[in-house]
Amino acid sequence: MKRLLGTAISGIVLAATMTFAAPVWADDTLDRGIGSEWSSLDPQVNFDAAAGWIQMDAYEGLVSYDPTGKVVPGAAESWDVSADGLTYTFHLRDGLKWSNGDPLVAQDFVNGVLRTLNPDTASEKGYYFSSVIQVKGAAELADGTSKDPTTLGVTAPDDRTVVVQMLAPSPNILQIMGAFQVAPLHSPSFNEFGAGVFIDPAHVVSNGAYIIKEVVPQSHVLLERNPNYWDAANVKIPFVKYHVTEDVATELKRYEAGEIDITYDIPLNQIEALKASNPDEVHIAPSTEVIYYSFNLTHEALQNLDLRRALSLAIDREVLEGKIVKGEAIPDLSYAGGFDPAYHGPQIAEASMSQSEREALAKELYAKAGYGPDNPLKLTMVSTVSEDATRRAQGVALMWKKVLGVEATNEPMERKAWLDAFYAGTWDVFSDDLVGDFAGPETFLAYMRPSAEPGYNWVKPEFDAAMDKAGAIADPTARFAALAEAEKILLDDYIFAPISIVPSRHMVKPSVHGWADSAAGYNNSQWMSLD
């Protein structure tokens, strides 16, 4: 009996070992690193940037983005804007098809937005339509006060026209009409299989350059060229494989062994060596993630503007990022990052000074606020446990100690606890970061409005008024000018110390063509080719 059981168990394990089939090792596959794991391949649910790459390959929005992040026609070949900037009319290409051959019609895009907003979907992306741009009726559908899909300001008057009506003009609309936000919904398969199953490789129907062929959780997602894509003739790489590799050091070794063509990240301690040995393969560029240290405005000491200013000026951002953190983050003295070259935003007032001048001024302001060697300021800081975040916090604490004599202690905590600590307010200084919804200044500035994020406890009617003023302007240039005025009000209050812009870090094999670095970070595989 025991022997029988033993034989049976070893038989099962042997069989399992054998099913790890022989490798298909083809050069017609682009192997891309995707970091730790995607959270969902459901186009209306996924909120991860890394899984967003898969989504951008498998689906196409009304517009698309070229490798440099520029808006290019997608499923819509053109669009018109009404004179008041409130209504956008998108004209779909003729003869668009889903991957299974079904015709792709304008209503499919409307259904995608409706499903994103539907509370039953439990998607976190509804705010793109209710807050980032204000689509008519979106907020009511998202919070469940309206159940009537006809109240939504996204409509399909005919099979080839999608009309988006907004409550306030927003030139940013084109930044959120891509596949990540407005992927169409193939209703027949969704209705038949339901959430979670309709995206199964066996059932999935998509409209992008690729279709999802195989999914192994924690391992990989394999995509195959979609023959029904309208531009399939120009999609050069037949297969794309996204590999999960949690450990960046392992990922780099897989890259060196040729198992991966484009990495998700580069280990911090390898950057310098790699830049020396393979300079053409190292791609480091600003992303839309900014780092800033927020001051707790509910604490009496930090309500003093001079003190906040002194703390911000005492940080030597060049030394901090270049010598201490060493993660290639770009030192920054503004907030909204200036990701759009058309935006000319302000920097903090002391940006033109040298660091030693800033430090001298910081000492002066610190003394003026009533602190000194006998009466040092004591601060608690909160950061995540990630290596660069803790190094950065230690560096800042060291600079405050050296320049001002401030006694600051950092409390690193894991990410979820850190997020909750923000709202609990159990800190003097919060090591903050924010990823923009798109590569433009408005996404950052809008976040600072008390109505968007009350956690900063910053009440500033002037800022709200300036943002309202900008929000009513349809012309992009005039709107940017108004946003720059709002950013000035924000920076002049020193409610945080801007620190740096986080870079994207990738290794890209010389055999891969068509890769470009951009803040938006859209790198659709359809633009790439292999030697």
Partner 1 sequence: MLRFVGKRVWEGALTLAALVTLTFFVMRLAPGGPFSRNRKISPEILEHIKATFHLDEPVWQQFGRYVWGLMHFDFGPSTRFRDYSVGDLIASGLPYSLTIGFWAVVIASMVGIALGIAGALRRNTPTDYLAGVVGVIGIAVPIFVIGPLFQVIFALKLNWLPVGGSDQGWRSLVLPIVVLSLPNIAYISRLTRGSMIETMRENYVRTARAKGIGPRRTLIVHTLKGALLPVIAYLGPATAGIITGSILIETVFAVPGIGRHFVDAALNRDYPLVMGITLLYGGLLILFNILTDLVRGWLDPRVRSDG
List residues binding partner 1 (CB under 8 A): 13, 16-17, 19-25, 36-37, 39-42, 45-46, 119-120, 122, 124, 126-127, 130-131, 142-144, 196, 199, 216-220, 241, 243-247, 249-251, 253-254, 256-257, 259, 413-422, 424, 432-434, 447, 452-455
Q: Rank residues 119 and 157 by Cβ distance to partner 1 and give the closer one.
A: 119
CA distances from 459 to 221, 306, 448, 449, 464 (A): 46, 18, 10, 9, 9
Is 115 in contact with 44 (CB distance < 8 Å)? Answer: yes
Taking the complex as a whole, how short is the minimal distance between the CB of residue 301 and partner 1, in angstroms? 25
Return the number of the residue (20 or 94) whose C-beta is nearest partner 1.
Answer: 20
Q: Which is nearer to partner 1, 145 or 352 (CB)?
A: 145
Nearer to partner 1, 68 or 151 (CB): 151
d(CA 99, CA 472) in angstroms, rounded, equals 40
| Closer residue to partner 1 (CB): 62 or 274 | 274
Q: How far is the CB of 447 from partner 1 (least distance, A)?
A: 7
Distance in Å, CB of 280 to partner 1, minimum: 20
Nearest-approach distance from CB 264 to partner 1, in angstroms: 12
In the complex, least distance from residue 258 CB atom to partner 1, rounded to whole angstroms: 9
What is the rounded end-to-end Cα distance, in angstroms, of the chain? 59
Cβ 342 to partner 1 shortest distance, Å: 25
Residue 26 Cβ vs partner 1, minimum distance, rounded to whole Å:
11
78 Cβ contact partners less than 8 Å away, ≥ 6 residues apart: 90, 91
- Residues forming a β-bridge with 39: none
Alpha carbon distance 103, 107 (integer Å): 11
3-state secondary structure of 284: strand
* CA pair distance 266, 389, nearest whole angstrom: 16
Measured from the CB atom, the residue of 88 and 128 that comes closer to partner 1 is: 128
E-strand ranges in 1-118 read: 29-33, 63-65, 71-73, 76-81, 87-92
Which residues are paired to 375 by β-bridges?
372
Q: Smaller CB distance to partner 1: residue 4 or 21?
A: 21
434/156 Cα distance (integer angstroms)? 35
Give the strand pairing for 407-413 and 378-384. parallel
Long-range contacts of 408-411 (CB under 8 A, 24+ apart): 408/378, 408/379, 408/380, 408/381, 409/379, 409/380, 409/381, 410/380, 410/381, 410/382, 410/383, 411/380, 411/381, 411/382, 411/383
Nearer to partner 1, 64 or 384 (CB): 384
CB of 44 to partner 1, least distance (A): 11
For 491, phi then psi, to 5°, come to: -65, -35
C-alpha 269/C-alpha 281 separation (Å) is 16
Least separation, in Å, of the C-beta of 317 and partner 1? Answer: 22
Strand-by-strand arrangement of the 76-81 sheet: 76-81, 87-92, 161-165, 154-158
Nearer to partner 1, 126 or 338 (CB): 126
